[in-house]
Amino acid sequence: MAKIFDTLQNDGRFGRLTEIIRTLGEDKTLQGEGPMTFFAPVDSAWDAIPEPNRSMILNDKQMLSHLIDFFTIGNHKCTLEALLKRNVVQTVEGNNIMVRKTDRGGTQVDEAVVLEGDLEAENGIIHVLDSVPFATLAQAEQAYLSTNV
């Protein structure tokens, strides 16, 4: 079984995400021992971020680094069922994300809908998201701004 980064890279839906991860050198983290939980927005999620915000985010390594930390729950391999029981979980960045059922029976992570959950990897688990949660983007921007004052 492949580790999280290799699973993302081999999947085909995460070209932009794997490029970001590689550029930041975070591929080593996602190849690490784990366990970890990783929320992975598909390529169309990045395309849906309105300009000029998308360009600003994708061209700023520090902002992207904060964002990747918001997608990661360290030291836990959390299935969707486990996340739903907890309802609120803390990311590596230190902020909380909300996980809840939708009216249509699906699952949401903040505002993003889980397209596929519980994608197994050797060092953790991946949950595929349809969008980059805007609450997460706002938190990443705040974290970025607080380190650049």
Burial classification of residue 44, based on how many CB atoms lie within 10 Å of its CB (0-12 exposed, 13-18 middle, 19 or more buried): exposed
Q: Model's pTM, two decimal places?
A: 0.89
Query: Which tens digits make up the pLDDT trace of 76-103?
Result: 999 999 999 999 999 998 888 999 999 8
Cβ count near 146 (within 10 Å):
9
Cis bond upstream, residue 133 (ω within 30):
no
pLDDT tier for residue 66 given thresholds of 50, 70 and 90: confident
Query: Which tens digits make up the pLDDT trace of 96-145?
Result: 899 999 988 899 998 899 999 999 999 999 999 999 876 556 655 665 56
